[in-house]
Each structure stands twice: as C-alpha cells, then as structure tokens.
Chains A and B, each alone.
Chain A
Amino acid sequence: MSETAHRGRSARNPTISDIWSRVRRALRPPRRLRLLRPGIWVIVGTLALGFATLNTGNNLLYLLTGALLGTIALSGWLSESMLREVSVRRTIPLAVTAGEPVRIEYRITTGSARPSVHALEIREIIGSSHALSASPEVVSAYLHQLEPGSTGVARAQFCARRRGVYRLDGLTLATSFPFGLFSKERDLECRDSLTVWPRTDRVVRAPAPAGRQARRARIAERAGAGTGRGDYRGLREYRPGDDPRDIHWRSTARRGELITREYEQDAADEYWIVLDHGAPDETSGEAAVETAAALIVGAARRGDRCGLAAAGVRIPPGAAAGTAEAFLDVLSSVELSVDAPRPAPPARPAMCLLVTARGPDSQAWGDVYLVARDP
C-alpha cells in the first residue's frame, strides 16, 4: 500500500509542463463554486423579491430579502468552514490487477478548532499516462460527518479495466453543505500513481521449453538416486519461497543475511518469458500481454525460476528483483504496436518461451504461445 499526504510530491524531476501546470495551479482561485439547482432558485427568488421590495418600499420585504441574502452568506461561510484546514491522506494499493475493484482510502483529518465537518465529498480524476488506457475516470468518496480534531475514513471504489500506470494528480474536496445551494470545491495536490497489472487469470498450459526438458533428463541421469536435484552449485542469498532446509547457517551467521544452497537442477529450471510487442490489433496484443502475465503467475506458483524480456527490460531468472510483482510491473507498461521489431532471445532460444500475437519467427524458441484473437 502506498500513502500520500496531500502535500506530498512525486519523485520526478520537474519538466517544463510540470512547472507550467504548477504556475496554472498557483493562479487558480483557491475555491470553485458551482451553482446547483436550488441555488439558482434562491438567487432568482432573491432578485425577484428584491425588485418587489424596491418597488413597494415595504419594510418587511427588506427584512425578508435580507434573510434570503443572509441564507446565501451563511451557505458560503459554513461551506468554507467544511473545507478549510481539512487534510487528506490517500492510501492506495501499490498495484492492482485489471478488472479487479480496488478501494482507495482517504483519511481525512480536521483541525480541532474547526466546527465538525459534514457532507464532505472527495473526488478525483484517475487518468492513465498510458496510451492504451481508457479515458480518465472520476471516483468519489463521501464522508457524512467528522468531529473536530479527529480523523475519519472515506473509501472510493475504482476498477481499472485496462492495465497501465494510472496517475492520481490531486483530489478535490467538495461540499454542498449546508443547504445544497452551491457546491464549493477545493483542490488538494496529492500526487501518486497506481500500477494496474494485466489480468492474470487466462488459462495457459504449463510451459515446456525444449531445452529445459533435455537438460533435466541429463541431470536426472547423472544424479541417480541422490537428491534428485543434481550437483551442488554454490551459495546465493535467500529468496522467499526457497526451501528453509537449504539455508546455509554458517554463511548466514558470517554475512548477517540469509544464505541458501543452490543445486544444479534449480538452474536447469530456469527459462525466459519473451513478449513480442508486435500485434496486428489491440485485442490480440492485450491477450498476449495477459498470457505472459498468466505464465508469470503460474511460474511463481510452481516455484519456477524464470526471467522476463519485455518493454525493453530484461530481468534475468534469479535476479534480486525477479519477483512476479516486478514482472507484472513491467508488463503493465508494455506498449504494443503493429510493426514492433521481432524480439531477440535474451538467452539460448531453446530456453525461452515466446508469447506472441503474430506468429513465431525463424528463431528456434523453446516454446511458443501464439495468442489468437479472442472470438
């Protein structure tokens, strides 16, 4: 989960467009006011009554016109006190799978010197920086009441239909309290991003790279009735999922971090998943990405050691960052195109699985997943 307070800044070097948007933000009035339907009626009523008052000179009508104006003034004052000195902290998951609803949590804190807050709506526009993602979506959360000096939680639900990196630039606090005449809005800068992974629930067969089967047979033959895991290869740092019985305690004590033994067959299980960025159309391209994602999840489940080559990134098997999450992060930002160059195998082609939507090339890939367009 990532948390962002509204005063937080993104960890990017500012570009000219950033500076320009910052200037525009600085020049923007601090509040926006939207007239709602009852507000229109009250204003029209006030003008009409004011006209009647001037025309007749009836003193009690002056009092009543003043009461309508006072209602508008009270509305402005109370709505302002709902928005002022309210800080919001947003909590979102670091990543989420496309099509899966995600709850965005807003922790709202008020100053203790404020009156209690009522009918506060938090809206934000979630837009994707990714070319393939859908148009920006507005999510909103509502807080009925919050006592002064306390923190309340409001939740919004968001369901990203497509993978990608979604930008959360800032949120808008809005309230139509107290009478629903106007909606007053205040923008809070609160940048964050949400990585939406491709769907991983595609049904795929277990990979069987030709190279791996040959090697595995060789190792099995050599090992005989031993451990069945081949020769001892060396030590490496412990990764989640490793068998705890393989931990080499002496080295662990010496180095101050968990060290585990590695056997030959572990290395033999290694393979690469290579994603072809070329796709005749968007649907089949996305299907290829989802297939790659399903392969990654399957590998993680089986404990396979696999690497990924996609989006210009190569994460070798067994690398420190080689977790399924990191792979999915890469896949979420893959840009597909019709005429993308054919991918080059990062290792011996026999040890690589190609996931493609446009058919295999002349390389002798260990396994090929040809994704057809969904019917």
Chain B
Amino acid sequence: MTPTPHRRLAALLALTALLAFVSGAGLDAPAALPAGAVLLIAVFAQPGEAMSRALEPVWRVLALLLALRAGFIVLVGGGDAVLPMVDLLLLLLCAESLRPRDRAGDARHFALTFALLIASAAYRPGPAFALLFILYVACATVLLVVGHLRRQSELRRLHAPQPTPRFMLRIALSSTIVLAVSALVFLFFPRVSRGWAARGAPTVARSIVGFSDRVSLGDHGARIESNPEVVLRIEFPEGPPADPAGLYWRGRSYNRFDGVAWSRVEHAPTPPFELRWTGGSIEQVIYGRRLVDVSVLFGLHPVADITPLSRIRPLRLPSGDFAYAGTAEPVYRVTSRAQLPDPAALRGSLIGNTPDVVAHLQLPPLTPRMLALADSFRAASSSAYDQALAIERWLSTRFDYTLDLPRTAREATLDYFLFERRAGHCEYFSTALAVLLRAGGVPARNVNGFLGGEWNGFGRFLTVTQNQAHSWVEVYFPGHGWVPFDPTPAGGAATAASARVRSFAGLRRLADGLSHRWGKWVLDYDIGTQSGLLERLAEPFSTTDAGGGTDRAIARRWYVLGMAVILVVVAVSLRRVRRRPQRTAAPTRAYIALRRAYARAGYDISAATPPLALADLVRDAPGAQSARAAIELYVSSRFGGRTLDEAEQGRLEQLVRAARQRLREHRGRGSVGERIRR
C-alpha cells in the first residue's frame, strides 16, 4: 500500500530522529539498523489493514521483551539504561510507523521521536546533528500541522483536502521561528554548570608513537597505518603562526632506554631552566581528545603555564611534562616561550656530572660499532651542542624515512637500523640520536608528541592528526634546560599522510572546521563561553577598557547600523502584516464615520445599509441636512467615478463633522463619546 504524504512524513521524521541518534551513539543500539530498515520501508510502503492487525501482537511481545531486558539491565545488571531504552523506543517507533493512523497517532509519534532526540543528546553527536535537528523541526512542524487539520476535519465529519506542497513548504519555513527560539534559549539561557561528561565519547586509537609509560621500539610487522584522526585542534589567540608545519607539540618525555623500549623513571629532576628563556611567549588554546594511553597535555616547548578550560586538573610532572586528572575532553590554554636560547650560549654550556645530568646518561648494552660511532662524533665536535647538531645532520641526510616496519625482531634493533637498514620511522631516528649522544656523554631524552599540523583557514585553527605523531630528542644544557633536536629527515612526518587523504583536503578541512566549531560552540558551550559571548556583545559599549578606543568606536558604529537595519526590517514586516488589504479612500472613510455616528445614536443602520437609504433613514435626525449633503458628495465620488479635489474633500469632512456635532448636541449629557473602533 502506498503511504499518504502524511504517513510518509511521519516515517521521515522517525528516520531523521534515528539518524540524529546514530550521529552521536553510532550503531551501539542493537535495534538501530533493523529500525532504520523498517522506517525506510515505511517511507515507501505501508502494510494493509489485515497485515497491520497481524503485526500488532508481534509488536506487543517484542515491546514486552525489550522492556523486561531494560529492566533487567538496570535493576540487576546495574548497567547503563540509555541503550536498552533506545531499543524499546525504536521498536515502538517502528510499530507506530506501520500502524494504521488514529487520532493520537501524531502526538505519540512526535513524543517517541523527541524522546529519541533527547537520548541522542546524552552522547556527543557530530555537526550532522545540527542539520538533522533542523530537518527534524521542519518535518515535525509540518507533520503536526497537517495532522491537526486532518483531525479537525474528521471531528466534524468533513472531507479534508490533501495539503498542497506549497502549504507544507510555508509551514516548514515557519518552523524557523522554532529554530530561532531554540537558538536564543541555547545561547542566552544562563548556564549554571560547567560542561557535561557525555557517555560514549570516543577515545583516540593508539598512535604511531605512544604516550604510555613504556614506548617500544621493537614493533615489527607490515607497515604503520595512516590515521587521519584528529587529536588536537589548536587556536592561536594572538594570530596564526608563521610556520605551523614547524611546530613541535610536545607530549611526553622518556629518560630510560633498555635497548628495546623507552620508559620513564623518576629521579633527580632537572631545574626548570627553560622558564628563564627570553624572547616573548606564544599562547595556544588547545582542544585535545582523550588518548588511550595516558592523560597527557600537549604544548609548544617549553611550556611555561597551563590553564584548564574544561573540567580537568593539569599536573606538572617533575620531568616538565604535563598530565591531567579528570574525565572530560581536555581544553586548556598553554603559554610557551617563543624562542630557543642563543646557540653561542649553548656551546658554552658545561655538561658536568651533577645527578640530573647523570640520570640522563643511562644506556643499555651497546654493540662495539655503535660505541665507536658515538666516539667518532664526540671526537669531531668541540661542544655538546655541536655534537648534537652533527649527529642530527648525519641522521637526517644519510638515512631514509619509511613507514615500513622491520620484518623481524633482529631487524627491529637500533644496531640494525644504524648499520644495515639505514631507514626507519621517527622513533628510530630519535632513539639513535639520544643513544649516540648519551654514549658520547651528552644528557639526552626521547620526546613523543606531534609535529606541525594543518592550518584550517575556515576555522582559523591548526588541526593535528594521528599522522603527525612524531618523536624527537631533547638535550640537556645545564643552565639553559632542555633544547629540542630532530634527526628525522625533512618531510618524513608529512609522508605519513596518504595521498587518498590529501585529495579531499579542502573538504576535510571544512568538515573539521565545522566539527571544531560545533564542539566549541555547541557541545562544550559553557558558562565561560557564554559570559565571553555576552562580554563580546557588550564590548562596543563598555567604558572601562582604556585601550582599543578606535576599534570599539568602529564596532559600535557597526552595532548601531546593524540594529538600525534590524529595526527597519521589523518595522517594514510589521507594517506589511498590519497593512489593510486596500487603503480605504478618504471620502469612504468620512462616510463610514458618518454612518457609525448615526448607528451609535440608535438608528437602525448597519454596514449593509446603502448610502441613499441611510440618507432617507436619517432625514428627520439632527444634522440630517449636513448628512444628506455629505452622502451626496460621497456617492458622487464613490459611484459617480468622480475624484474629489482637496476643497471638496475638506467640505465633505466638514459636513460629517457638522452632522456629528448636531447629533452630539442633541443627545446632550448622556451621550457616549465618539469611539471609532478599529
């Protein structure tokens, strides 16, 4: 049976709600796929009466089973109630979509689909939710209106004509009011809490380099998979950086290498010399994601300070790394020093043998040729800094970068990398540099993080993906702190991104920008963002801030202009709305005033009384002469095809006034004042 447009719309509404749910929770609810199929069928075909009746017991039994399951999971299993409830909801929705319509049908349908939307709010749906929400509101508005009209006709046993597409389109457009109110409530309703921990927030898969306590070099197999998943989005409040590709997003450092894996051992911490670096600072607002490995915060080296912007608590570790406590998605502001120390100063730095230096000279047993190699670099360099530079240059120019992993455990060793394979991924390069430096008496450590990122001009932020995971080395210079060196050949990290991913770069950037804005302005919109928005709205009118006077004046001018435009638009549309279909001509207005005056005085006159009959009716009334003359003038203008000139119009109005005056005089004290109702 082909469904009516009304039923089709109902099925579409249910599909939209289901998609909105799936955009957040994915296919976690077991019923999502079958329900989607049933609803899709309902859009194109409806069961007949007999079939619907046959299906009815099936729905009941299934609903009972799912309700029992939900109850069991919640009461006995102590599990999450949302998914079982969604399963039940989807079943009811399918039953509703395939059931012959009755009067309460639309209301039930709306309630079920809205409940599904509420359920999807428990997750973190992507920006597609916004589109589906708009579609849902439009669909629901049309469905409810059409259903209401149909019910009204049924109640009166009238045949209701099918709504025209034009009518449905107009109703759909009027749903912009719903969206506007929704947006206003969303933006300006005071937030009392800060953020919301959604369920099912996806964590990022394991990256190319790890951030856990132990990072192994010995992985072997086929090839490191390209992974374009976004891990960091970084905004620069002070303006975009000149070279985003050269930014090292430092995550975690490792100070102990056992020949196969790097790990972290806490011992004598190095003094935070980095914080004394001069040359300004650079601010970053970082929207991170929870990583599988560990809760680590990223930032440009050296990080001077971290301020949390979401419900996390940053912790500064003795190594200078930052971790955090809390389950929310980390959003934080990082202040970093902008410039490295002067190379001349670093060349003059004496390494010494303080405990903090010794702690970073630990080495696993090395092969003789590795030790010889380290010695050769030491002998050729006059300072630790030059030694680091020389090894860095040697590795980055003589070795190749590859994502192919070593095939066997033997091939996975550092020795094999340095002398046989001479190709590898970033971890091999950084480990080689660190080990060769340590073997040459220079304290060094391995650092994992991300390199570069992709500048998103649409969203004005830097996107860092898994593909940009990187590993490099920090060398310790007493008095100056840890200075980064990167021995990986140039472009090495970039090759991680596959050609397939790059071909849709523009589209991806747009999607990523949307996703970032959605997260920032919708999902994570909180009291801080709200007050920021209000402050920004009020900024042009604030008088407290002394600086930026010209900017504020310009902004204020735009504001006034904008408000003026809005006022004009509102006034014009109100005028359009209030405008009478045709403006009554002046003589007619005068005549109507006259007619009303006599009607109010108690003469049996209605709007249907013809003018000459009116003149006849009031022939003995006070002011009859004036009235007669006025009516003749009016009739000559209205029906005689004559346009009254100004003098005649004036005379007509004067006559009407005179007649009304006479009427008033006649009625004396008890008269009811003239009130012309509109």
Contact = CB atoms under 8 A, between A and B. Distances in A.
Interface stretch (A11-19, A304-312, A353-361): A11-19
Interface string A170-187: 000000111110000000
A74 B174 contact: yes
A193 B580 CA distance: 30
Contacts of B525: 59
A5 B186 CA distance: 47
Given A3-B608, A11-B603, A60-B129, A70 B523 contact: no
B184 to A, nearest CB: 7
A119 B171 CA distance: 14
Given A7-B677, A65-B185, A178-B144, A60 B120 contact: yes
Given A5-B606, A111-B581, A144-B160, A60 B523 contact: yes
A134 B171 CA distance: 44
A57 B607 contact: no
B131 interface: no
A13 B270 CA distance: 104
A144 B616 CA distance: 41
A101 interface: no
Which range holds the interface residue count of chain A? 35 or more
B290 to A, nearest CB: 18
A51 interface: no
A111 B580 contact: yes
Interface of B: 107, 111, 114, 117-118, 120-122, 125, 129, 133, 137, 141, 144-145, 148-149, 151-153, 156, 158, 160-161, 167, 170-171, 174-175, 177-186, 189, 191-196, 198, 522-526, 576-577, 579-582, 596, 599-600, 602-608, 672, 677
Contact of B125 (A8, A19, A56, A60): A60
B118 A5 contact: no
A19 B672 contact: yes
- Per CB-CB distance, the 9 closest pairs between chain A and chain B, nearest first, are A66-B185, A57-B193, A70-B181, A66-B182, A11-B604, A70-B178, A60-B121, A8-B606, A112-B581
A5 B599 CA distance: 13
Contacts, number: 166
Given A66-B186, A179-B144, A4 B121 contact: no
Nearest to B598: A9
A62 B608 CA distance: 54
B171 A178 contact: yes
B28 to A, nearest CB: 17
A113 B193 CA distance: 46
Contact of B158 (A3, A13, A61, A144): A144
A136 interface: no
Interface string A153-181: 00000000000000000000000111110
Given A5-B607, A19-B672, A145-B161, A59 B178 contact: no
A280 interface: no
Contacts of B607: 5, 7-8, 89
A49 B118 contact: yes
Nearest to B160: A144
A62 B170 CA distance: 26
A70 B30 CA distance: 33
Contact of B151 (A4, A64, A180): A180
A67 B118 contact: no
A22 B600 CA distance: 12
B107 A38 contact: yes
Contacts of A5: 606-608
A77 B178 CA distance: 11
A118 interface: yes
Nearest to B146: A178
A59 B196 contact: yes
Contacts of A326: none
A57 B581 contact: no
Nearest to B195: A57
A27 B545 CA distance: 51
